[in-house]
Structure 1
């Protein structure tokens, strides 16, 4: 009985192994479809809007870095040119001083190699001695001054050459910064455009509506704070000229790095507007925030500049009645909008 059970068990195992080893079943098992990957959660249109806004903000930060590097490059290039002119002038001065020193040496040679002082001592004419003593003293001072001037000019040339070398090194470093910032700007803009392009026409229209609604809510909240009650609506003559210039640019496209006249970025517009009013201000929004006079928002008047976001990456000109003129971002034009539609960092006054 036990032998029979053992034989049945052995037969069962053999059959099972035969089935598992069957090529048809092995192929069928290998061909079985894998379970589908888990679906990524679909982003809402509001989330897409926020992502696009953030990409354009990052592009604005990179634009500031580009503009600052470009400004420094211009300054250093001008300094190198100026130093080169000073080096040429210094070399010419050294050549003139050496010529004068050579003339003195030749005069001494013509006198038999004796210095003027020795010739004076050897003279037998007392009157000649007295007449020439004063001239000798003057000549010695002139020779000493000549040598001192030659030494100083040579030292200045060494300093000019070092300064030129240092400025060249800085110039190259800023060119590298420009290239890096330019790539970052284009990458961020391309990423934002790609997100927008993936939306259907209806979704793009809804996206714009969401953006306008967000701006309306922010502006309404800002106005409801009572901010306009005590604001000075009177611009100074220079402020009025700056506002007139800025508003005249409405409709022109935003182009990063642009300073007009056909297109602007945000700080290029404010700099150009105040330049038209006769006042030079820094090139970037971050430098305008850092270097211009800060004023309390309750003391704001038309012509003042409102700086936005914690990193001072955007700026617009207050024109009165709770509005600003600004160059928003790539794909948009210079426009008039509510001053409270973005996160305000503070206010600066160019005057």
Structure 2
């Protein structure tokens, strides 16, 4: 075999091997066999044929699934984080109550001890015996009311002592239960965190395998799909029915969200330098003076639902059947949202994703 043919064969083998790597599980690339040109020289390596659009569409669909799964896990992480904060606060409050209860118990015990010592000094005799043995019965009668009041005070003291002891037992039991819940929520956070990292790492690896031109074409495919979805949504005539103006708090929430343009999406983040989708919406409404649930799923569950035709700027649009994404309606068919890892807070069409429904924080 001549030198030129050997060089050409080695170049072809190199390209085939490279395309085989790109076609590994988790990708959707074809591995076209390069066809050498008869005019090729020993130093020329044929360029691989870029994957057709249908293969990049598979890549896009795969990325969408991975980032959607990461969003679901992020919501689970955020929910567990919120519960962990509440449990920690509850345990701190119980710890304070236990400390205060122990101090109170010590004071009551000291008072009970003082009462017992006073009774011992009187010989521990009941009031009747003290009356019969007294040298001055009239003086005893005059002090009878004081004795009776003392007995009542002692009984009250013993009752309070018993209640305080029971309270301490209840606080301790409650704290133990809260610790168990806290551990459950911590494990849920750890599991969700692991799922998030796995999904994002797989998506990033898939994107890293693309050539620069393929990334550009993929971005164009994503933009085309978003434009198509937005156009179909607008073609329903939905905007023609939306006339409601934003409330004062709604305008403030939109202004806050707008001020975050360009800040990166980071799962679990709620500002000030980065946000996830529900971190952005919850912080925007908190800034407007109306705290709302932290996660998109809880925002969907707890906030008042409104018809799309009645939505106004500042309302939140919940996306996907599992309520895994949320955005803020900004008016004119647009939303402000933190899309996904690798993207920044931006404006998009309200109809670019499947809408589950609309909720209003300041209903």
Q: Shared fold by TM > 0.5?
A: yes
Is 1:144 the counterpart of 2:155? The answer is: yes
Instruction: Give how far 1:128 is off.
Output: 2.3
Contact 2:244–2:310 (CA<8 Å) still a contact in 1? no
Of the structure 1 ranges 117-126 and 245-254, higher mean CA displacement relative to structure 2 is found in 117-126
Q: What do the CA deviations read for 1:292-333 (whole angstroms, capped 9, x no partner)?
A: 111111110111000000000000000111111000000000
Q: Decide which structure has the larger Cα Rg and report it.
A: 1
* Cα deviation digits, residues 19-40 of structure 1 (max 9, x gap): xxxxxxxxxxxxxxxxxxxx99
Rounded to whole Å, the distance in 2 between the matches of 1:166 and 1:190 is 36
Q: Which residue of 1 aligns with 2:86?
A: 75
| Residue in 1 that maps onto 2:9 | none
| TM-score normalised over the length of structure 2 | 0.84
**Given that residues 108 and 116 in structure 1 are in contact (C-alpha distance below 8 angstroms), is that contact kept between their aligned partners in structure 2?**
no
Residue matched to 1:215: 226
TM-superposed CA distance for 1:194, in Å, is 1.2
Q: Is the 8 A contact 1:233 1:320 kept in 2?
A: no
Query: Which of 190, 198, 203 is the equivalent residue of 2:201?
Result: 190
Indicate the residue corresponding to 1:348 in structure 2. 359
1:155 to 161, 166, 170: 166
Aligned pairs, how many?
314
After superposition, the Cα gap between the structure-2 partners of 1:337 and 1:117, relative to the gap in structure 1 and judged at 3 Å, is: farther
Indicate the residue corresponding to 2:285 in structure 1: 274
Could you report, residue by residue, the CA deviation over 1:173-211 in whole angstroms, capped at 9, with x for unpaired residues? 111111111110010001111111111111111111010
Retained in 1: the 8 A contact 2:319–2:326?
A: yes
**In structure 2, how many angstroms separate the alpha carbons of the residues matched to 1:99 and 1:203?**
81
CA distance in 1, matches of 2:293, 2:122: 65
What is the rounded CA distance, in whole Å, between the counterparts of 1:202 and 1:332 in structure 2? 19
1:93 to 89, 99, 104: 104
Moved over 6 A (4+): none
Aligned equivalent of 2:315: 304
**Deviation digits for residues 229-282 of structure 1, max 9, x if unmatched?**
121341111111000000110110000000000000000000000010011111
Is 1:291 the counterpart of 2:339 in the alignment?
A: no
Instruction: Tell me how far apart the structure 2 counterparts of residues 126 and 186 of structure 1 sit (CA, whole Å).
Output: 88
Q: Which one of 323, 333, 337 corresponds to residue 348 of structure 2? A: 337
SS of residue in 2 equivalent to 1:44: helix
Task: Pick closer, same or farther for the CA change 1:240–1:131 going to 2, 3 Å.
Answer: same
Matched with 1:26 is none
Distance 1:239 1:124 in 2: 85
- Equivalent in 112, 127, 142 of residue 138 of structure 2: 127
Q: Distance in 2 between matches of 1:70 and 1:117?
A: 66
Partner of 2:59: 48
Q: Check the 8 A contact 2:56/2:218 in 1, yes or no.
A: yes
Cα deviation, 1:113-144, whole Å, max 9, x if unaligned, reads 32445323543544324322222221121111
1:40-88 Cα offsets, whole Å, 9 max, x none, are 9837111110110110000000000111111111111111111111001
1:265–1:327 CA contact under 8 A, matched in 2: yes
Aligned Cα RMSD in Å?
1.6
- Match in the other structure for 1:317: 328
Asked if structure 1 preserves the Cα contact closer than 8 Å seen for 2:131 and 2:137, the reply is no
Matched, 1:164 2:175: yes
In structure 2, the partner of 1:20 is none
Note the 1:102-117 alignment, pairs <5 A: 102-117=113-128
